[in-house]
Structure 1
Amino acid sequence: MNVPKSIPDIPSTPIFKYYLYSIFAWGGFHMPVDILLLRDRGLSFGEIGIVVAAGTGAMLVAQIPSGYLADRIGRRRTLMLSAGLMTLGALLFGIVGTFAAFIAAQATFTLGIAFKAGVSDAWLYDTLADQGREDEFAHVSGRARFALLVVLGLTSIAGGYLGTIDYGIAYLATALFTACGLLIAFSLPEPGKAKEEDTLRVSDAIALIRKDFLRPSIRQVVLSLGLFFGAITALNAIYIQPASVAVGVPEAHLGWFFALLTGVGAIASYYAGAIEKRVSTEQWLFFVTGGLGVVFVTALIVPVFILAGFVLARAVHRITQSIAGQYINDRVGTAGRATVLSTVAMVYSVFSIPIRIGAGQMGNTIPPETAGALVGGLVLLPTLYIGSWILKRRWSSQSEKPTEFVPEGE
């Protein structure tokens, strides 16, 4: 009789360091006061929009090159570069005061995020593979997100108090946190399975994207996830506050509601690995995200239901991140893993931009609770998309093994 492998309660040293890196790689003190700082330094809302757009542009431009760089020079060095750029960007936010300088600060900080997107997942998966534990990726990444969300909740509260002294101090505190993340990244070992990848050429990277990303088993899921993440991030960025107030939540109680959302997200992340073991990716994308969409559609009739939608969306979002990471990593070979994962992250960003623009314009003409329900209802689109694909291919009964990429000339 086969005995299922248990998940060790005590993480190995590299995984423990990964937990620490996940906690310190973001900071979070600035999150409650970022827009307030820009307004305090004299920027108009139009200028703030340009600053935010500069960050989005930097993210899109850097995501695929960041994955290629990680495959070329190593995961650890790229994560160090990420933490260094975020530290520099946070420092700039804390001390500069001109429109052009804030664009530079935003671009620098967002480049740091881009150099981490996909690369940290690639480091984790390859490190677990070195230990023969790659099937635990969703479990470990979910626990890391749980720890991050708990710390983000605490640092956000602290940042709010620091902002009452000076908004710039909150950014300087974030810079101190991410500097600690840089030191932790320096101590991370380079995964053994990734050490041989420092000869990856640009032509190799292009071939990788064609081979792995364009396969139906990855492409269909990534497109579905792009629609899902695009709708959820637009909902989080624009409508949680105004829609909650519109259906009766007092403004003074919004902080408690956000604390509830953070707590739900943390708990969901903690159990994401266990859920991934019991539910297939296609089942999750079809049934669970579909159910979430139904809740938001119901909110069009009973507006207060949108509060339940916000809570469920936070849980589903966090679990989906871990399930998607496990699914994609299992179908990508070690060579060039970071390049493919960064391409996936870029696709998510491409989806989010038009959805955010459309969601914002929607709020100019209809009440926020109605607009929020419609945006949330967009998660039904990936449900329909993945459902049509399931009808064409019974891929839930297939297990596609990852194939290693052989660079040209070898």
Structure 2
Amino acid sequence: MLAETLFATTVERARSDVRRYCLYRATMSQGFIAPVIIEYVRHRGLSYSAIGLLTALFTLTTLLGEVPAGYLGDRLGRRSMLVAGSALTIVAMLTFGVSRTFAGFLAAYVVWAVGIVLRSGVAAAWLYDTLTRAGEGDAFTVVQGRAKALELAVSAVTALLGAWMATKNWLYPFVGNAGLYLCSIVAVFGLSTSGGGRSDAETFTPVDALPVVREFLSIPGLRSFVVYSGLFTAYLGLVATFTQPIATGIGIDISQLGWLYAGFSLVSAVVTFFSGAIERIVGIRWWFLSAPLCVGVLFVVAPSSPLVALFALFACRVARNVSKPLREQYLNAHADSIGRATILSTVGMISMAFMIGFRALGGLIANVTSPITMIVITNVAMLVGLWLLVVVESPVPKDVVPSAGSGDGAGTEAG
């Protein structure tokens, strides 16, 4: 009887935490700055190659910080890391607003990157632990998808506001986003402390972290999936970086970017809300095999028609937002609670390594050709790389079974 009462209390606490987590995700929207940030940097006189270099250095900072941040999340507690991440992001937004030079923007990007890594793998690890304690680990994709959908809905509204605010003063969208991140700090304080036994976390040292990551990446199905999804994620990130110059290049006025980004967010919100159904009907394996091909084909023919290019941009946003919870579900299901944030951050680091190359090279190619031509060229490189990976070692092979429903599992292979 006592055991049943304790379990019921745990379930109710987990559901309350899920509601608060959704509120936290809603306040993590970048909607105010999303439609204008690249155009703002260009307005300050920076070239495409300078923008490519800035975003590559931003990604490099993220790469170098991912694993230490994940380890700190496992060691010190995930809630405190989320607060620190939001605080640094507020500093970055205000720095963006007052910057006028490459050095100023570089400082803003670096601080922003550190803020992101402090919460990237930590937030997903916290959610999965919370659900697992309540015996609902297999609901991760559903919860994460709906939380992301709420974030995107907020992004749609704030994108319209941000674009309008930029017409009044370039500083206003950055102040608006800083205010939203301040609300995220308040939301984090409503979350329960990290999942995972505190006594275990206190004994989790860097020496322990290395074999955990090595063992995780030694499993063939997981190893190939990490590289495959990382390459695809990096390409989607490149497209997101150059969406604004691509959009203006096909005839969309700067004043219309707010509506475009609001459309991105609304369409993505609807599809992402059904991430759980996509996982159940399509499956993680077939999603990651088919989504890159669909996006790739669209971008190959994108230069032939502005309408196709616009559709490709929408497809890219949807693929990016749906892929994230599916990837996190698969990885979380094969990671132990202690070390989970470290593993997710390591996976993020691998994606960032690909993204550095894409963004640095992409900026140079865009300077010589055009943003849309650059996207086509890098798209071909992405498709070739994914095809080679499939030939060498199929990602998410059928004999590697996600154990989301079985609790807090480690990577296991079906015999």
TM range (shorter): 0.7 to 0.9
Q: Distance in 2 between matches of 1:102 and 1:362?
A: 22
Residue in structure 2 matched with residue 111 of structure 1 by the alignment: 114
Q: After TM superposition, give the deviation of residue 363 of structure 1 in Å.
A: 2.7
Q: Distance in 1 between matches of 2:42 and 2:231?
A: 32
Residue 396 (str. 1) matches residue 379 (str. 2) = no
Residue in structure 1 matched with residue 224 of structure 2 by the alignment: 220
Residue in structure 1 matched with residue 241 of structure 2 by the alignment: 237
Residue 314 (str. 1) matches residue 299 (str. 2) = no
Structure 2 unaligned regions, length at least 5:
1-10
Retained in 1: the 8 A contact 2:160–2:258? no
Residue 209 (str. 1) matches residue 213 (str. 2) = yes
Q: Distance in 2 between matches of 1:242 and 1:94?
A: 20
Task: Report matched runs for 1:284-295 at 5 Å.
Answer: 284-295=287-298
Relative to structure 1, the CA distance from residue 44 to residue 389 in structure 2 (aligned partners, 3 Å threshold; closer, same or farther) is: closer
Q: Distance in 1 between matches of 2:396 and 2:201?
A: 35
Task: Report matched runs for 1:167-186 at 5 Å.
Answer: 167-186=170-189
Relative to structure 1, the CA distance from residue 32 to residue 291 in structure 2 (aligned partners, 3 Å threshold; closer, same or farther) is: closer
Task: Report matched runs for 1:257-336 at 5 Å.
Answer: 257-299=260-302, 304-336=307-339
Relative to structure 1, the CA distance from residue 39 to residue 299 in structure 2 (aligned partners, 3 Å threshold; closer, same or farther) is: closer
Which of the pair has the greater relative contact order for Cα pairs under 8 Å at 6+ separation? 2
Structure 1 unaligned regions, length at least 5:
1-7, 406-410
Question: Taking structure 1 as the reference length, what is the TM-score of the superposition?
Answer: 0.85
Relative to structure 1, the CA distance from residue 314 to residue 274 in structure 2 (aligned partners, 3 Å threshold; closer, same or farther) is: same
Spell out, residue by residue over 1:324-379, the C-alpha distance to the aligned partner (whole angstroms, 9 max, x if none).
Answer: 11111111111100000001111111101111222233334445444333333445
Identity value in percent? 29
Residue 200 (str. 1) matches residue 204 (str. 2) = yes
Retained in 1: the 8 A contact 2:285–2:396? no
Retained in 2: the 8 A contact 1:78–1:119? yes
Q: Distance in 2 between matches of 1:144 and 1:115?
A: 19
Relative to structure 1, the CA distance from residue 28 to residue 254 in structure 2 (aligned partners, 3 Å threshold; closer, same or farther) is: closer
Retained in 2: the 8 A contact 1:25–1:178? yes
Q: Distance in 2 between matches of 1:258 and 1:134?
A: 33
Relative to structure 1, the CA distance from residue 184 to residue 244 in structure 2 (aligned partners, 3 Å threshold; closer, same or farther) is: closer
Q: Distance in 1 between matches of 2:99 and 2:251?
A: 39
Name the aligned partner's letter for residue 162 of structure 1.
M
Retained in 1: the 8 A contact 2:159–2:261? no
Residue 154 (str. 1) matches residue 157 (str. 2) = yes
Residue in structure 2 matched with residue 131 of structure 1 by the alignment: 134
Structure 1, 11-20 or 90-99: larger mean CA deviation? 90-99
Q: Distance in 1 between matches of 2:80 and 2:268?
A: 30
Which of 13, 17, 20 is matched with 1:17 structurally? 20
Q: Distance in 1 between matches of 2:173 and 2:308?
A: 35
SS at match of 1:335: coil
Structure 1, 289-298 or 139-148: larger mean CA deviation? 289-298
Residue in structure 2 matched with residue 339 of structure 1 by the alignment: 342
Retained in 2: the 8 A contact 1:122–1:337? yes
Q: After TM superposition, give the deviation of residue 242 of structure 1 in Å.
A: 4.3
Residue in structure 2 matched with residue 357 of structure 1 by the alignment: 360
Q: After TM superposition, give the deviation of residue 82 of structure 1 in Å.
A: 0.9
Name the aligned partner's letter for residue 363 of structure 2.
G
SS at match of 1:395: coil
Name the aligned partner's letter for residue 186 of structure 1.
F
Retained in 2: the 8 A contact 1:286–1:384? no
Spell out, residue by residue over 1:19-75, the C-alpha distance to the aligned partner (whole angstroms, 9 max, x if none).
Answer: 1111113453233443565567x6654876665455333222211110000010111
Which of 52, 58, 63 is matched with 1:60 structurally? 63
Name the aligned partner's letter for residue 277 of structure 1.
R
Q: Distance in 2 between matches of 1:43 and 1:204?
A: 47
Name the aligned partner's letter for residue 183 of structure 2.
C
Spell out, residue by residue over 1:5-24, the C-alpha distance to the aligned partner (whole angstroms, 9 max, x if none).
Answer: xxx9xx82100110111111
Say what the alpha-carbon RMSD is for the aligned residues: 3.1
Q: After TM superposition, give the deviation of residue 318 of structure 1 in Å.
A: 1.6
Which of 72, 77, 88 is matched with 2:75 structurally? 72
Residue in structure 1 matched with residue 383 of structure 2 by the alignment: 380
Q: Distance in 1 between matches of 2:99 and 2:252?
A: 36
Name the aligned partner's letter for residue 355 of structure 1.
F
Question: Taking structure 2 as the reference length, what is the TM-score of the superposition?
Answer: 0.84
Q: Distance in 2 between matches of 1:249 and 1:182?
A: 36
Residue in structure 2 matched with residue 89 of structure 1 by the alignment: 92
Spell out, residue by residue over 1:236-268, the C-alpha distance to the aligned partner (whole angstroms, 9 max, x if none).
Answer: 212x34444555656665544433322221112
Residue in structure 1 matched with residue 3 of structure 2 by the alignment: none
Q: Distance in 1 between matches of 2:52 and 2:389?
A: 34
Number of corresponding residues: 394
Relative to structure 1, the CA distance from residue 379 to residue 144 in structure 2 (aligned partners, 3 Å threshold; closer, same or farther) is: farther
Q: Distance in 2 between matches of 1:96 and 1:32?
A: 18
Q: Distance in 2 between matches of 1:394 and 1:183?
A: 38
Q: Distance in 2 between matches of 1:339 and 1:135?
A: 21
